[in-house]
Structure 1
Amino acid sequence: MTTFQELTSIEDVRDFYLQQSASFIYISSPGCGVCASLFPQIEPIIANHPEFRSGHVDLSTVPEIVGEFSVFTAPSLLFFVQGKELHRESRIVPIEPFTRKVEQLSRLVASMN
């Protein structure tokens, strides 16, 4: 299973997505039931795509992420390719469409290499 790197400062977050060719960030909030139930469904999908380096941000630890990325709800799922945000999902994330989107982004990353 892919290990999600814990990002504990806004500088960690910036370094994480800017230094990778492709990355995925899962933003959650403590006490968020949707966050807790969605993560185990998302984790294996991301694990099948090692081209995406995966990170996790807790909103209570890194509150600056709200302003930096205009995150207004949790969970928020962000994909970056070459330092640019290409896709975002928030709150209720249907798994089948999410899986198709990850496949599409994966093909895009592969075509860039």
Structure 2
Amino acid sequence: MEKAESLEEVEEQIRKHRLVLLLISRPDCSVCQAVKPQIEDLLEKKREIHGVYINADQVTEVASAYAVFTVPVVIVLAEGKEMLRKARFIPMVELENQLTKLVSAYIE
């Protein structure tokens, strides 16, 4: 998963890749620390999806840009449009199933 250091970097990755999974989190969030490696493992299986991580403490404007009220947040974008959003407690099996459907709709 690629780490973005600015909102501009996030937007560039969204323009560059057809499918993007954006993970917004904070280092002092215990749920975030548990979710991040699971998301990374999931992205290993879903190579068609480009993963981008951003630290909401370092890039505070990401919260307003993506209407984030809690962390962690997973936002999946297809061709720049938000298709899926999961926040706080993220069920990985459900997320994987939804990503599989999205990949088949946009890639295959």
* TM-score normalised by L of structure 1: 0.90
Give the match for residue 88 of structure 2: 91
Runs of 4+ in 1 over 4 A off after TM superposition: none
C-alpha displacement of 1:41: 1.6
How much is the aligned-residue C-alpha RMSD, in angstroms?
A: 1.0
Find the partner of 1:58 among 55, 59, 66: 55
One-letter amino acid of the structure 2 residue matched with residue 30 of structure 1: P
CA distance in 1, matches of 2:59, 2:13: 14
Identify unmatched segments of 5+ residues in structure 2.
none
C-alpha displacement of 1:59: 0.3
One-letter amino acid of the structure 2 residue matched with residue 7 of structure 1: A
C-alpha displacement of 1:38: 1.1
1:44-92 CA-to-partner distances (Å, cap 9, x unmatched) read 1111111111110000111101111101111000111111111110000
Give the match for residue 19 of structure 2: 22
1:1-113 pair list within 5 angstroms: 4-111=1-108
The answer to whether the 8 Å contact 1:19/1:83 transfers is no
CA distance in 2, matches of 1:21, 1:99: 18
C-alpha displacement of 1:16: 1.1
1:5-55 CA-to-partner distances (Å, cap 9, x unmatched) read 110111111111122111111111121000001112221111111111111
C-alpha displacement of 1:108: 1.3
Aligned partner of residue 26 in structure 1, secondary structure? strand
Identify unmatched segments of 5+ residues in structure 1.
none
State how many pairs are aligned.
108
* TM-score normalised by L of structure 2: 0.94
